[in-house]
Amino acid sequence: MKTLKPSRLRFFSFASIMLALAFLIGMDADQNNDYNQDYIPAPGAVYLIHVEGLVDNGLNKYIQRGLSQASSNDAAGVILHMDTFGGLVDAADKIRKNLLDSDLTIVSFIDKNAASAGALIALATDSIFMAPGASIGAATVVDGAGSYASEKMQSYMRGIMRATAQATGRDPRLAEAMVDERVVIEGVVEDGQLLTLSTTEAVELGLADGSFRTVDQIMVHMGWEDKELFDFQEFWAESVLRFLSNPVITSLLMLMMLGGLWFELQSPGLGFPGAVSAIGALLFFAPLYIMGLAQSWEILLFALGVGLILVEIFVLPGFGVPGILGISLVLFSMGISLIGNVGLSFPEMHQVTQAIWTMAVTLILGVAMISSMIRYLPDNKMFNKLVLADQTDRNHGYTSSDSKDDLLGLEGVAITSLRPSGTVLIQDRRIDVVSVGEFIEKGAHVKVVDTSGTRVMVNRLG
């Protein structure tokens, strides 16, 4: 008789999870050390902070750290070296507020692009300088599908663009025209067009304060030529966190979690799909937690949801309240973890909308991925090495416990209460059983109605 061997991938699964935990703990420790740099400049230096790539919460943490260190080190000023096509509105708004609240002299150097959220960040600085051929503008809000967001969101973006321009002494109409194509400025932008300005146009309209090719030229213009220019770099952990918190990567990690969990439940033991799901969960929640976007109770909700799903599958027969509640908690926890912490207040609608779009796209891709794998992977030789592909039923000579089929249809007496599990006496044999959906008191007569799997199911007689 054949017996099932433990999966050779269990050690790999455990080791992978432990390595992922150690990796993320290391990142957290690095994040908590704000001054973990080989070199810190003398007081009076000029800090060069890079605003590049996607505007996200990781970028916000990096800029916040740079402004904090520059302020505590009595920096002469800060230069934001910008090249971005935009990103998350909530992250840009946090950066904007930090810039406006700072007592430092902060200037933007738009090397190539400051579009969308990048334009909002640039408007929050004391001076804007642009390289020849650069551009700024096109700050309308789009949703997860790339379509224009609701009028409520556009109104919100118009408001903060206008308020930011006013706070830094710039024309608020130009800022509004970057968001709303209905804003008409004679000789500048017509009805139905979003405003995007070239370097020359921005300087002529007074939105930008000058055109320079290099940071060194800006240093001379600002009277900082005798100051040390300190290139403030991201920690390696911040770079990794920004990568993992990218919306595209976030969706892929959610696919890892959901897909890995589904495939793990199709085979016994802890194997490769379980490791994939666990690592996906770690890499999804840990960056959000470290950056302060996800709280511990959101992670606990996810763990509780997974636990309820496992209870539904391995403990309780059928599909009922635990399974539905577990799936709901898993999806809800992933969704709210994508929304920044707002305490007891309700989050901004654009944050909710973005989270809903991310979840919807992920679920659609997840269903498509699982359907494709079910159809094509069973015939793949490499896949069959990772999961249990052969049937392991009794007809193929496999068994994981002694058969109790001889008990089917027999009657006995409950020698303990069944709540729903307990013990009955059948033909002088003590048998551990589970009642089918009801409490059965001690001494009641019962009948065996099912012996499939590893459990013996009984019903009350009479």
Q: Quick one: pLDDT at residue 354?
A: 64
My answer on whether 380 and 447 are in the same domain is no
Instruction: Name, of 20-34, 319-333, 354-368, the range with top average pLDDT.
Output: 319-333
User: Which of 133, 138, 139, 137 lies closest to 200 in space, CA to CA?
Assistant: 133
Q: Give the H or E element holding residue 46.
A: strand 46-52
Burial of 35 (0-12, 13-18, 19+ CB in 10 A): exposed
- In this structure, is residue 33 part of a structural domain? no
- The residue among 327, 356, 386 that closes a domain is 386
My answer on whether 413 and 370 are in the same domain is no
- The residue among 189, 214, 234 that closes a domain is 234
Give the domain CATH number at 201. 3.90.226.10
Q: Is the pLDDT of residue 209 over 70?
A: yes
Q: Quick one: pLDDT at residue 3?
A: 39
- In this structure, is residue 309 part of a structural domain? no
Q: Is the pLDDT of residue 211 over 90?
A: yes
Confidence band for 146, pLDDT divided at 50, 70 and 90: low
My answer on whether 201 and 261 are in the same domain is no
Give the domain CATH number at 416. 2.40.50.140
My answer on whether 109 and 252 are in the same domain is no
- In this structure, is residue 17 part of a structural domain? yes
Structural domain total, the chain: 3
My answer on whether 213 and 126 are in the same domain is yes
Q: Quick one: pLDDT at residue 149?
A: 67
- The residue among 209, 234, 259 that closes a domain is 234
- In this structure, is residue 316 part of a structural domain? no
Q: Is the pLDDT of residue 205 over 90?
A: yes
* Tokens standing for residue 353: 């909308």
**Domain residues for 282?**
2-23+241-293+338-386
Greater confidence (374 vs 23) lies with: 374
My answer on whether 159 and 217 are in the same domain is yes
My answer on whether 420 and 352 are in the same domain is no
- Please state, in angstroms and rounded to a whole number, the distance separating the CA atoms of residues 101 and 71: 12
Q: Is the pLDDT of residue 30 over 50?
A: no
Specify which residues 440 forms β-bridges with. 418
**Residue 356 contacts residue 375 (beta carbons within 8 Å):** no
- In this structure, is residue 315 part of a structural domain? no
My answer on whether 423 and 441 are in the same domain is yes
My answer on whether 176 and 214 are in the same domain is yes
Summarize the chain as % helix, strand, coil (round to 5): 50, 15, 35
My answer on whether 247 and 140 are in the same domain is no
CB atoms within 10 A of CB 1: 6
My answer on whether 53 and 126 are in the same domain is yes
My answer on whether 127 and 79 are in the same domain is yes
- In this structure, is residue 159 part of a structural domain? yes
- In this structure, is residue 394 part of a structural domain? no
N-terminal to C-terminal alpha carbon distance within the chain: 40
Q: Quick one: pLDDT at residue 31?
A: 46
- In this structure, is residue 396 part of a structural domain? no
Q: What is the pLDDT of residues 288-308, one digit of tens each?
A: 776 666 677 777 888 888 788
Burial of 440 (0-12, 13-18, 19+ CB in 10 A): buried
Instruction: Name, of 67-76, 183-192, 400-409, the range with top average pLDDT.
Output: 67-76
This prediction's pTM: 0.61
